[in-house]
Amino acid sequence: MDEEARWLTAEEQRAWRGFVRLHERLGGRLARLLQSESKMSAADFAVLVNLTDVPDGRQRYQDLGRVLEWEKSRMSHHIARMAGRGLVVREECPDDARGAFVVITDAGRAAVEAAAPRHVEAVRELFLDHVTPAELRMLADISERVVAKLDEDVA
């Protein structure tokens, strides 16, 4: 660690801190709306959305944990709580005795389908309505590039 820190310039710091504030406030507001209007946590919603995006609504524990950036213990505890509420079930993997799947239930699918319209409207009201189409494309490009780099670093 003999290298000197590459401190942020004023412009970089403004952009970084603005991004962090945006992420924290928007995430917090959306989480509170989900909880108050759908009785679902942001974590529950994230799990259910990811499961609706994959065939058969099933995903291996470790793959879902990787997508969500959750540690193994958080995955285990959270999925157990969701299973207790009937939103998901755990299924053993027939090909791998140590592996398991998280599978969305009909109740989980109904819960995310009920929550999604209001969530999408909140995303529009709180975020999308305040950016131009060009800014939105730029944000998508930036996000995809940074995520690809993060994924590359993990691989």
Tell me if 133 is assigned to some domain: no
Domains: count for the chain: 1
The confidence score (pLDDT) of residue 2 equals 61
Judge whether residue 99 has pLDDT over 90.
no
Tell me if 90 is assigned to some domain: yes
Name which of 28, 25, 26 is nearest 36 in CA terms.
28
> Which tokens in the block code for residue 90?
């755990």
What is the 3-state secondary structure of 103-140? EECHHHHHHHHHHHHHHHHHHHHHCHHHCCHHHHHHHH
**How confident is the model over 58-84, as a mean pLDDT?**
94
The CATH number for 52's domain is 1.10.10.10
Tell me if 3 is assigned to some domain: no
Residue with more model confidence, 93 or 63: 63
Which helix (H) or strand (E) element contains residue 144? helix 133-154
**How confident is the model over 27-37, as a mean pLDDT?**
96
Tell me if 23 is assigned to some domain: no
